[in-house]
Each structure stands twice: as structure tokens, then as C-alpha cells.
A and B are shown apart, each in its own frame.
Chain A
Amino acid sequence: MAEEDRELIESHEHPLDGYLREGRIPHIFCPGCSLGSITNVIIEAINEVGFDPKKVSVVSGIGCTGRISGYLNYDSFHTTHGRSIPFAISLSITDPERKVIVISGDGDLFAIGGNHFIHAARRNADITVICVNNFNYGMTGGQVGPTSYMGQVQTTAPYGFNEESFNLPHLAATCGAVYVARWTALDVRRIKDSFVEAFKKKGFSFVEVLGSCPTTFGRRNQLAEGKKILQHFADHTVLKHDADPKETKIEKNGPFIVGKFVDIEDKPTLTDNLLAIQRISQASDKKS
């Protein structure tokens, strides 16, 4: 065994640096935040599918997760709070070969942006929505959010949150999404495979990733470090493919049900339908 094999080799560049915007690493995410891992996984998934990087657009909203578009070296659009989905729908319609990925947080997509999510799923817009669920509004300091669970303590729920948490896979499946999956931030390999499936899917695909947020969520809920949150996930995660999305609600001590819940083929997308309208409207021209 060579001597040099006993020490990690020092480097100053990462193989994926070309896919990150120059001068923007180190990113702003906290130590122990899973957003960096998810950025890593997105790049690996895009490479594995083999998309032409020119044809990939990343749209994000406001919040910590929304900052991911600023680090990815594709066409990045950092829009207003809750409005990333209609922007993404228009991008996908204007070029059916374009892959549009929406990456945003739970509050951005499901509180202020909830209406847009519902209709995009209903219309089967050809986009992939990745929601990193950290159970609170992190960037603004840790307020409670639609996915906060019963008993959680946050700044705007100092006595403990006593409302139901939003069951995101259930919402997505009910609205008509053709691909619904949930993973925890620990399970990076499965997240990557799931992203690859979701990216390849025609239609509205939705992946929820339970993220680790030590600073504003963890410290207020006895999970003060990223590694503690990941261990909490590891202890309470139950892998159950094809689980009924109705039963996947998140509660304080789990079980966190993860897996691929919905995978539907051959549903016409919004782009298909709009192109069909073009054909129908022009066919009457040909008849004359």
C-alpha cells in the first residue's frame, strides 16, 4: 500500500464545478443544510439522463431552496414568491424540447403558490417540480409553514403548532400529477434515481424531498444539527412504494413514508393539448 493512499488527496476543484456558476461557491447554505446535496444530485441526475444543457431551464421561487437556481449553470430564473410554476409552464410551452425543472420550498410552492401547483398538476404541464420540504420558512427566520407538523415549535407558533400538516404527495396525486415520490435528504442515491425518472417523465412530475434545516427548524425542535436531522429521518423512515398517498402525512415522530407513490403513463400534457388546438384550428383552414 502506497503511503499516499493513506491520506485524502488535497484538491481545489470539484468535477462538477463546470455545472456550477463560477465564483458562487461557497454557497450561502448553512452547515448541515441538505440543499447543497440536492444541488449535487440534480446535476448528477441531469447528466445521467443526458439532456443537452442548453435545453435545461431551472426556475425557482423565493426562499433558501429558491437560491439553488443561482448556483446551477443552466438557464436560471429566480422569480417572485410562489410564482415559479406559471413561469415554468410558459417556458415549457414555448419549446416542447426544453426540460423545465422547478425547484422551490414548501412555503413557496404550497402556501402562496398553492393555486398554481394545483392547476399545473391538473393540466399536466410538462415540468418537474422538486419541493424541498424543511417544514418552515427558513430564509425569513423560521416561521411556521403549511407543512409544519403538529407539535412543532417555530417563531410564529411559539406555543407549538396545533394544525394539520399539508400532505404534499396526497395533494399532487389528487390533482393529477403523473409521477409522485417522496424521499428524505439522507437517501441521495434514491433521490437521484427518482429525479432521473421524473425528468424523463412526460407530464407533471413531483418529487418531495424532506430536507434538513438545522438553523431555523432543527434548533427549535431538538434537532440542532444536520446530522441529527438525518439520523431522525433514518430512524423513522419507512420505504413503501405505491403507498396510498392519503396515508403519507408527516407527523413529529414519523413514520416518514417514502417511495414512489404514483407513476402514470400516457396522459396528454398541456403542451400536447395546445398543439392539438393549433392543429384543429388550422385543419378548418385546409378544409376550405
Chain B
Amino acid sequence: MMSDGNLDLPEILTGEHFTTGNHATAEGALAVGCKFFGGYPITPSSEIAEHMALRLPRVNGHFVQFEDELASIIGILGARWGGYKSMTATSGPGYSLMVENIGLGMMTETPCVIINVQRGGPSTGLPTLVGQQDIMQTKWGSHGDFEPIVLCPSNVQECFELAVQAFNYAEQYRLPVTILMDEILGHMSEKLIIPDKSKIKRVNTKKPNVPPEEYLPYKPDKDLVPPMAIAGDGYNIMVTGLTHDERGYPVLNVETQEKLVRRINDKIRKNKDKIIILEEYMLDDAEIAVLSFGSVARAAKGAVNRAREKGIKAGLLRLVTIWPFPDERIEALANQVKTILVPEINYGQITREVERTTHGKTNVKGLFKMGIMHNPQEILSEIEKCV
């Protein structure tokens, strides 16, 4: 087991393990080169912090427990500007505290990873039971216009893989990336296979290839992402949350706002196809689609299998990236199927997005539960009703 204080542990623990989702996420972060964790304990994500506290010092990283989530999020932004890949882990109430500075991360284009192990909400809610109620917050929680990247694993192996992917997206597109887990996934134990070092890809931000006199910190390349110089590189960078021009200096006028806000949104919007990850299961000839994500997708897959055994043409579309939302794929799906069922552990968040993107071309039905995952029989009953 990873957490028993085993000696001689490198960054990447290649091999087979049996461990929890929280630990798998932490190991994924370590495998991709995370060297700084700044956090605050909150159920159900505290195990991530505890695991990082154990493992990071061994791999020459730093674990800092801050006084609150407000300090944690800005602490990890500072660590990245100091040169360390950084992350934090929290749940709904903590994420609410962090949103202001996630906005700062978006505006300053700082790569970092935030893990939200969702629990029941609103407010203090259900600390020890599952929820999927924070999805819209990852897109609209912070003020202002920005396009987030949000990943949603469904099993423990994916927790590891998506942690690696999250850091790579963050570095490539220079923004805070959120991993939306949930309490069930965080606390369940499953098999995890950590591959060899050579199979784990590490992406780093582009570095400037001009001398300091010619460098403009916020002048984008063709992919709309600027190369990043950090503190100590000798570039005398200016990083500010105010609207800024290409030098990074605050310039508070209409023209600069237009240019900057459009670019930090377009860098994701225009690269959507390279970012969106979906799993399509038995969707080719499906007449009824189940659209789900997170822990619920496990039950949904089971329901689709049972439906197929009964001869119903059901299929599963699993969102691995929730944002950017796969508008085009769902619109295409709407032309194909009679109904899209959306089981989620909330009172209708992704359901609304699906309704928006299908433009009334198909039936959309949300299956809402609170505090507990759907079981496959419940989803199967709904599928049968649609036939």
C-alpha cells in the first residue's frame, strides 16, 4: 500500500496498486512532476493533502498547509510563478472560497490544478456523502468571462490518468484546470496500474526564445498562448489581475479589454477539438442515449449493458471533459436518438446544458438524485420507459 510509510519511493510508482481515488489523483500529480501542494483540509479531499504531505518532501517537493482556502489557491499560483508545478485539493465550500483567485489564474494565465472532490451542497451540506452539484460553479463561479478546462474521472485508474492530463492541459494552455471528482470516487478502492516513466508524458509551458529586451509576456503565439517566463528568469515580468496589454502592464481601456478577454477565451474555444475527451459506448446505433459523468457513469454503463441484453438500443456518452462542453457532439447525437437521459447527483446542471445544445431536437430527461449514486436498475427503468 502506498500510505504505509514505505521507504524508497520515487516520483512514479510503476506497478500495480489497490488504492483509493484520492490517492490515485495524488500519485498522478506526482508522476507528472507536481512539486508543490498548498491546501487546507476538507472532507472528502483531505486524503489527497495527507498523501501529498507524505510523498512530496521525499521527491524534493514542498507541502504547505495554509490557513484557509483563500491562501491555498493564491499560494499555488505563486508557486507556479516561482517555477514549481503546483496543485490544491478541496471540496465545494473550499472551491467557493477559491473562485476569486481562480479568476486571477485565468487572467494571469497561470498553470495549476485544482481538485474538487464534490460533496452534497449547498453550503456545508453533506460532507461525507456524494454530490455532483459544483459543475456550473467551475464555469460560472468566478466573475468575468473565461473558458475553463474541467476533467471528470469515473474510476480510480482514470483519476491517475486525468491528473496527468490536467497538468499537461494546464501547462499547454496556461490556465488553472479543475478536476471534478466526487466523494464516492475519492473514497473507493480499486485497482490502479501506474505505467513506466516512459509512458507518462510531461508537458511544460513554452519558454521565451527572445532576450529580455524583446520579450512581451502576454504576446501570444499562433496557438493564442504566450510563452511563459517566471520569476528569476531575468525577464522582469509584470503579472497583474488588472486588464493588461502585451507587456503585462495595466492598461484600462476598451481596446485592451476587447483584445485580452477575447484571447483568453479563444485560446480554449478555438482549440476545443484538441481538448474535449469523450467516451462513446455502444452509441453507433443507439436510439436512447444516456449522458453521464463521474461515478454515475459506472451505473449508467451497467444500465446500458442490461438494456442491450433486453434488446433496447441504448448507448452511453460519457463526458470526460465537462468544460469545454461538447456542443457539436451532443447536437449531432440529438439528430440520432429519441431521448437523452442525464442521470446526475444534483437538481439539474448538465441537463440544462444538454437542453441548450440540443435545441429541442430530441427529448432530454434528467434523473436527479441527492446524496447517493444512482443504481443501474433505476437508470434501466427510465430507459425502458423511453422505448
Contact = CB atoms under 8 A, between A and B. Distances in A.
Interface of A: 21, 24, 53-55, 57, 59, 69-70, 73-80, 82-83, 85-91, 93-95, 98, 115-116, 118-119, 274, 277-278, 280-282, 284-285, 287-288
Contact of A75 (B9, B62, B231, B240): B231
A89 B79 CA distance: 8
Contacts of A116: 67, 70-71
B232 A90 contact: no
Interface in B70-104: 70-72, 74-79, 81-84, 86, 100-101, 104
A78 B242 contact: yes
B12 interface: no
A85 B86 CA distance: 17
A91 B239 contact: no
B36 interface: yes
A75 B239 CA distance: 8
Nearest to A90: B78
* Max chain A C-beta neighbours (<10 A), residue from B5, B68, B71, B72: B71
A83 B242 contact: no
Contact of A83 (B60, B71, B232): B71
Instruction: Please report whether the interface of chain B is mostly helix, strand, loop or mixed according to DSSP.
Output: mixed
Contacts of A70: 238, 240, 249-250
B145 to A, nearest CB: 17
Nearest to A85: B71
B8 interface: yes
B78 to A, nearest CB: 3
B67 A119 contact: yes
Interface in B27-81: 36, 38, 54, 57-58, 60, 62-64, 66-68, 70-72, 74-79, 81
Contacts of B60: 278
Contacts of B240: 70, 76-78
A76 B239 contact: yes
Given A70-B250, A278-B60, A91 B241 contact: no
Nearest to A119: B67
Contacts of A74: 236
Name the 4 nearest CB pairs between A and B, nearest first.
A94-B82, A90-B78, A87-B78, A78-B240
A76 B36 contact: no
Given A86-B72, A115-B71, A119-B66, 6 more contacts: A70-B250, A89-B64, A93-B82, A94-B83, A274-B64, A285-B9
B311 to A, nearest CB: 57
Contacts of A59: 78
A202 B39 CA distance: 25
B51 to A, nearest CB: 13
Contact of B74 (A57, A73, A79): A79
A287 to B, nearest CB: 7
